Amino acid sequence: MDLHSGLPYWIIKNPLFDYYNPLKKDLETDIVIIGSGITGALMAHELCRTELECCVVDKRSIATGSSAASTALLQYEIDVPLCRMAEQIGEKNAVTAYRSCLQSISDIEAVLKETDIDADFERLPSIFYASDEKGVKLIEREYEIRKRYELPVELLNKGELHKRYKMRTYAGALLNRQSAQLDAYKAATQLFRYHIKKDHLQIFTYTKISSCEETPQGCRLKTKDDRTIRCKYVIVAAGFEAGQFLPEKVMKLTSTYALISHPIDNKDLWPEHSLIWETAEPYIYVRTSGNRIIIGGEDEDFNNPEARDELLREKTEKLEKKFHTLLPSVPFKAEMIWCGTFSTTKDGLPFIGTWPGTERIFFDLGYGGNGITFSMIGAQIISNLLQGKEDERKDVFGFGRIC
C-alpha cells in the first residue's frame, strides 16, 4: 500500500537520502530491525549506543514511509485524554503513560544533542482548545486530573486565548509549555548516517521480509528474493505494516490529511508559534515550520489509498476553513498538500514488547498521534529488555492489556 500521496513537505525540504543497498546474500547477525523510519532510527540508536550488534532492513528507501508524511508534533498529551484513559486502563497506568511521554520529549532532545544532529527540534507551548460544550467539560476534567498528578498544565479562558494567541474559539483551553516539534524525516536519515559512519551500521534497503519465524535458537527471516537472515532477535518497527508479523489485528488504520502554507511574514504568525489542537474528534492540529504553517487532521477510518486520495481536495478546503475560523488574522494559502495512512488503538497507546508466548520477536509500534514520543519509549524499553534490565513501563505499553 502507498503510505502517503500528494507532496509531503519533508522530502521537498530535505535532500533525499540516496542510499541503495538491497541484501544480495544470506546474512547472520544478532538483531534485525524491520523498518527504517523514525522508529527504526531511534531503535538503532539505542542498540548502537549500548554496543548491541544490529542491522536494519526496509522494503523502501530510508525513511520514505509514514515518517516522510508525519507532521511531527511532540506532546506528552495522548490522543485519549488522561481523564478517559484512567477509566480505561486505571489511573496509575494512565499517569505512567503520560509521564513517560513527557520524559520522552527530553530524551529525544538529548539524542539529537548527543549525536550533534540538527533536526529542527524546537521547544514550544501546546494549546488544547475546546471546540464545543462537550469540549469545555472535557478540558475541565482534564485540568483537574493533570493538576492532581503535577503534570504541566494551565487553564486559559476564551478571552485569554484571543488576547495572547489571536485565537477565536468556542471557549477556553489547556496550555502546557513542555511540547516540541521536529523534522522526522531529517531526524531519521541523519541518525542513520551517524551510525553508518560511527558504528558501521548495516542498512539493507529494497529488501522486503516475506516471513519471520521464531525458533528455539533464534529467528529466521526470508526475503522476497529468497535470501535468509538468521539472528537472535527481531524488532518490528514497521508501523501498521507490522500486521503481517502479528497473530491478530491490534490497530485501526486511519487516513489523515495535511497541508503547508506559502511562506508568510513572521509578524503575522500567532505569538510563541504554539502547537494547537482541538477537543473535537477527529481533531485538527496546527504547527509552524519556519515561517510556514502546517495544518493536519480531518481523519477518516479507511485504508483504501484510492478512496483516501479522492478526498484530498475536499479535505484541503475543510482544513483551510477551520484554520481561518480559528485564526482569522493569520493569512494561510496552501502550497503543498498530502495525505497518509496511520494506525490508531482504542486506548491511544502503542504496542511495545513481545507477543504473549514468544520471546525473540519484539514489536516497537508507536501507533497514534504520539508516534515519535512512543518510538523513543519503545526503543528504551526494548533495549533494556535485551540487556536483561527490567523496565516498569513494559506492562503499560505491552500486548498484555489486550491478550
Q: Within this chain, do residues 49 and 133 fall inside the same structural domain, yes or no? A: no
Q: Within this chain, do residues 274 and 228 fall inside the same structural domain, yes or no? A: no
83 in Cβ contact with 145 (< 8 Å): yes
71 in Cβ contact with 296 (< 8 Å): yes
- Looking at 295, 326, 344, the residue that finishes a domain is 344
- Looking at 306, 327, 344, the residue that finishes a domain is 344
What residues pair up with 202 in beta bridges, in sequence order? 55
- Looking at 344, 363, 390, the residue that finishes a domain is 344
Q: Where are the beta strands (DSSP E) in 130-170?
A: 154-156
Return the CATH number at 205.
Answer: 3.50.50.60
Nearest to 371 by CA among 348, 387, 388: 348
Return the CATH number at 270.
Answer: 3.30.9.10
Q: Within this chain, do residues 144 and 271 fall inside the same structural domain, yes or no? A: yes
Counting every residue written for the chain, the total comes to: 403
How many domains does the chain contain in total?
A: 2
Q: Within this chain, do residues 170 and 202 fall inside the same structural domain, yes or no? A: no
Nearest to 286 by CA among 272, 300, 307, 303: 272
Q: Within this chain, do residues 277 and 336 fall inside the same structural domain, yes or no? A: yes
Distance, CA of 242 to CA of 248 (rounded, Å): 11
Q: Within this chain, do residues 189 and 220 fall inside the same structural domain, yes or no? A: yes
How many other C-beta atoms lie within 10 A of the C-beta of residue 252?
15
Q: Within this chain, do residues 314 and 294 fall inside the same structural domain, yes or no? A: yes
Q: Is 9 domain-assigned? A: yes
Diameter over CA atoms, the chain: 65
Alpha carbon distances (Å) from 94 to 59, 82, 100, 296, 386: 35, 6, 10, 26, 25
Burial 351-384, CB ≥16 within 10 A → b, else e? bbbbbeeeebbbbbbbbbbbbbbbbbbbbbbbbb
Q: Is 113 domain-assigned? A: no
H or E segment to which residue 6 belongs: strand 4-6
22 in Cβ contact with 206 (< 8 Å): yes
User: What type of residue sits at position 190?
Assistant: Q
Q: Within this chain, do residues 217 and 334 fall inside the same structural domain, yes or no? A: no
User: What type of residue sits at position 342?
Assistant: F
Over residues 214-235, the pLDDT tens digits come to 998 999 999 999 999 999 999 9
Q: Is 95 domain-assigned? A: no
Q: Within this chain, do residues 173 and 229 fall inside the same structural domain, yes or no? A: no
Q: Is 77 domain-assigned? A: no
- 200 Cβ neighbours under 8 A, 6+ residues apart: none
Q: Within this chain, do residues 144 and 256 fall inside the same structural domain, yes or no? A: yes
Residue 2: per-residue pLDDT: 47
Q: Is 85 domain-assigned? A: no
Distance, CA of 110 to CA of 281 (rounded, Å): 33
Q: Is 12 helix (H, G, I), strand (E, B) or coil?
A: helix
How many other C-beta atoms lie within 10 A of the C-beta of residue 264?
16
Question: Which residue ranges in the chain fall short of pLDDT 70?
Answer: 1-7, 302-305
Q: Within this chain, do residues 246 and 195 fall inside the same structural domain, yes or no? A: yes
Residue 3: per-residue pLDDT: 44
Distance, CA of 376 to CA of 379 (rounded, Å): 5
Distance, CA of 286 to CA of 41 (rounded, Å): 25
Q: Within this chain, do residues 261 and 328 fall inside the same structural domain, yes or no? A: yes
User: What type of residue sits at position 189?
Assistant: T
Name the residue range of residue 332's domain: 123-179+252-344
Over residues 37-62, the pLDDT tens digits come to 999 999 999 999 999 999 999 999 99
Q: Where are the beta strands (DSSP E) in 23-163?
A: 27-28, 31-34, 54-57, 73-74, 122-129, 154-156
Residue 304: per-residue pLDDT: 65
What residues pair up with 222 in beta bridges, in sequence order? 211, 228
Q: Is 92 domain-assigned? A: no
Distance, CA of 132 to CA of 136 (rounded, Å): 6
Residue 302: per-residue pLDDT: 64
Q: CA 94, 395, 252: angle at the middle one, nearest 5?
A: 70
Q: Is 83 domain-assigned? A: no
Q: Is 305 domain-assigned? A: yes
Which pTM was predicted?
0.95
